[in-house]
A = this chain, B = another copy of it.
Amino acid sequence: MGRVLVQVMPKPEILDPQGKAVAAALPRLGLAGFVDVRQGKRFELVVEGPVTPEVLAQARKAAEQLLANPVIEDVVSVVDADAEVPAGASA
């Protein structure tokens, strides 16, 4: 089974009330070092076989037509979740 990872964020110019709420709550947890927080969406799209270029193209189409609202959101990335190698991952 392959997985495509799609990440969507609010456009920079769009007010992000959820992000602002989180940013305001962090100091109450003693975490005062963060100057801003933005909240978006993360999708995992599962396919039967491997993630081929055709699958990535279909996932991008899904992202642009359904997963992101083009008026207020940007599709940040569409990648093979299992090929992604986050440098310096602390997870």
Contact = CB atoms under 8 A, between A and B. Distances in A.
Interface of A: 1, 5, 7-9, 19, 22, 25-26, 29, 31, 33-48, 53, 55-56, 58-62, 65-67, 75-80, 83-91
Query: How many copies of this kind of chain does the complex include?
Result: 2
A11 to B, nearest CB: 13
A88 to B, nearest CB: 4
Contact of A77 (B19, B45, B78, B91): B91
Contacts of A41: 39-42
A73 B48 CA distance: 25
Contact of A44 (B5, B31, B38, B53): B38
A46 B42 contact: no
